[in-house]
């Protein structure tokens, strides 16, 4: 064998090695590509924390339009609780994307970094009216639903007990993917707050815009022009009437409630409303008094009420969990009537003044803050109450029926107060809660279990040795093989 033959075989050997490396690399890339496209995932956690329920999967399979989700929770936050929110949300949204991709649906998730993507973040914030940090926006075409961090957890006594993100996100997907808008009618003709007015005191266009951005269709309703409340009314609102409703107008509201209607009344003090008989029928008492609160933490510097006490109800639960107060002006009691005898009614007081409050009868002199035990009502006082009638089905199941929600204040919906503290969140909960838009999905919250492993130094050293034996053995074997090959 001459020198040229030796060189030829040497080059051929090297070429085969490179070809083998290329084939191996191609195999690895192809395998990774196929595994990324076609794979099976199994949730091995004890309580299936990272799996979607069959109900959520069924709803995702029915999506016929692409979903775009914007997450403004920072990825690397120095705050432990914010980082926890990001981890929970990101893991859950990956499950939604996986299920959607497996069934040919589109759910796109975009994470926005406020500091690195300032322009994009400002664009999304302006488009969807984002006013709170750590917000997730679920969108479909021109419809959107905001999810706040406080929506995602069940908390008790300041301790997070369960993560209910799947229930919240599935509900949001259903809401934004619905083409048909829920209709809300605002009664006009009695000096109410005007739905289209930008006046800071007597307009509530901000609240109307807020509803429209959440797939509600808001219309004005003059009871004189209609023989009855339109059948497509999901909710009817009466916001701060300045004169009494006529008897035949009240009769139309009564008929509407009799047909499973949902009516929300926002009644300012010092103004007649003509609804006493209707309220009596529904077991709610709206006193002609002014709520005075002398508690230090329940009165603003301007004299407005700061309301911090909420019941455990879907409409007020988020406010209670987030400890987010309300700021109201002059307010009257709106409480369950202690003399009501209708057992078919379920009456729930939602918002309360403090224990140091009272309802003052002589409101001609509001500077006098003395309590008159003969005329005034001691606190705490309910200033918002919900009265419900359930329907008994043929299967002995109680179904949601008519609802009457009464507030002893209306100015928190005015343009100059709507964005203050928890006022907007309360109104959002009212709109969604009155029509069961946050469906009672059969998706239980997933409990958050905390595990703590306590080890002594000896135990920790033993574990470290056990975990290091195999890597150390492999390393030692590699060194021995290397030395033998060098010989």
In tens digits, the chain (487 residues) has pLDDT values of: 555 565 666 777 777 778 888 888 888 888 777 766 665 666 666 556 667 877 778 778 888 889 999 998 888 888 888 888 898 899 899 999 988 988 889 999 999 887 788 888 888 888 888 877 788 999 988 888 888 888 888 777 667 778 888 888 888 887 788 767 789 999 999 999 998 889 999 999 999 988 886 778 899 999 988 888 998 899 999 999 999 999 999 999 999 998 889 999 999 998 889 999 999 999 999 988 888 888 777 777 777 888 999 998 888 887 887 788 999 999 999 999 888 777 778 899 999 998 888 888 876 666 667 788 888 888 899 999 999 987 654 444 455 678 999 999 999 999 999 988 889 889 988 988 888 655 444 456 666 655 555 556 677 777 777 777 878 888 888 888 777 777 6
First to last CA, the chain: 27
pTM: predicted TM-score of the whole model, two decimal places: 0.64
Neighbours of 379 (CB within 10 A): 23
**Of 71, 65, 116, which is closest to residue 92 (Cα–Cα)?**
71
Q: For the segment 174-218, what is each residue's pLDDT rounded down to a tens digit?
A: 778 876 778 999 999 999 999 888 999 999 999 998 888 677 889
Quote the CA–CA distance of 254 and 379 in Å, as a whole number. 31
What pLDDT digit, counting tens, does each position of 117-176 carry?
Answer: 888 888 888 888 887 778 899 998 888 888 888 888 877 766 777 888 888 888 888 778
CATH number of 181-434: 3.40.50.880
Tokens for 372, please give them.
Answer: 């008159």
In whole angstroms, what is the distance from residue 185 CA to residue 230 CA? 9
Query: Hunting for tokens 């803050």 — which residue is that?
Result: 369
pLDDT attached to residue 440: 42
In the sheet that 262-266 helps form, which strands lie side by side, from edge to edge? 216-222, 182-188, 233-239, 262-266, 398-407, 382-392, 345-352, 309-310
As its CATH architecture, domain 54-176 has 3-Layer(aba) Sandwich (3.40)
* DSSP for 240-303, written as a single string: --SSPPPHHHHHHHHHHHHTT-EEEEE--TTS--S-HHHHHHTTEEE-SSEEEE--GGGB-TTS
CB-based contact 333:285 (threshold 8 Å): yes
pLDDT, position 439: 47
| 449/461 Cα distance (integer angstroms) | 27
Which pair of tokens denotes residue 359?
Answer: 């309802």
């Amino acid at each position: 064998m001459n020198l040229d033959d030796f060189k030829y075989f040497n080059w051929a050997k090297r070429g085969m090695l490179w070809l083998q490396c290329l084939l191996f690399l191609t195999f690895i890339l192809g395998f990774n590509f196929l595994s990324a496209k076609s794979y099976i995932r199994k949730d091995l956690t004890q309580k299936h924390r990272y799996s979607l329920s069959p109900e959520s999967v069924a709803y995702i399979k029915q999506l016929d339009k692409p979903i775009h989700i914007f997450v403004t929770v920072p990825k690397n936050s120095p705050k432990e609780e914010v980082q926890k929110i990001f981890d929970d949300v990101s893991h859950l949204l990956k499950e939604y994307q996986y299920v959607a991709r497996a069934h040919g649906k589109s759910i796109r998730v975009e994470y926005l970094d406020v500091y690195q993507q300032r322009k994009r973040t400002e664009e999304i914030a302006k488009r969807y009216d984002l006013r709170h940090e750590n917000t997730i926006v679920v969108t479909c075409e021109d419809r959107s639903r905001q999810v706040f961090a406080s929506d995602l957890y069940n908390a008790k006594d300041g301790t997070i007990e369960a993560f209910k993100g799947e229930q919240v996100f599935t509900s949001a997907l259903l809401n934004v993917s619905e083409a048909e808008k829920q209709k809300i009618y605002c009664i006009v003709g009695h000096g109410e707050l005007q739905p289209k007015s930008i006046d800071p005191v007597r307009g509530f266009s901000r609240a109307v815009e807020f509803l429209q951005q959440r797939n509600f269709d808001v219309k004005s309703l003059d009871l004189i022009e209609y023989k009855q409340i339109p059948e497509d009314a999901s909710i009817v609102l009466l916001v701060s009437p300045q004169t009494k409703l006529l008897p035949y107008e009240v009769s139309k509201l009564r008929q509407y409630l009799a047909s499973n209607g949902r009516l929300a009344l926002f009644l300012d003090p010092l103004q007649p409303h003509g609804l006493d008989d209707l309220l009596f029928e529904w077991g709610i008492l709206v006193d002609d008094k002014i709520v005075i609160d002398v508690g230090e933490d329940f009165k603003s510097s301007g004299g407005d009420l700061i309301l911090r006490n909420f019941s455990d109800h879907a409409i007020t639960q988020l406010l209670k969990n987030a400890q987010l107060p309300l700021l109201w002006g002059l307010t009257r009691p709106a409480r369950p009537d202690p003399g009501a005898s209708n057992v078919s009614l379920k009456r729930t007081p939602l918002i309360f003044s403090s224990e140091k409050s009272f309802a003052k009868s002589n409101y001609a002199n509001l500077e006098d803050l003395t309590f008159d035990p003969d005329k005034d009502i001691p606190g705490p006082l309910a200033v918002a109450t919900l009265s419900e009638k359930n329907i008994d089905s043929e299967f002995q199941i109680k179904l949601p029926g008519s609802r009457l929600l009464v507030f002893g204040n209306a100015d928190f919906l005015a343009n100059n107060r709507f964005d203050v503290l928890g006022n907007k969140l309360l109104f959002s909960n009212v709109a969604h809660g009155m029509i069961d838009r946050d469906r009672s999905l059969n998706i239980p919250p997933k409990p958050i279990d905390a595990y703590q492993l306590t080890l002594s130094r000896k135990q920790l050293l033993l574990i470290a040795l056990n975990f290091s034996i195999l890597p150390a053995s492999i390393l030692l074997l590699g060194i021995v093989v290397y030395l033998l090959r060098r010989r």
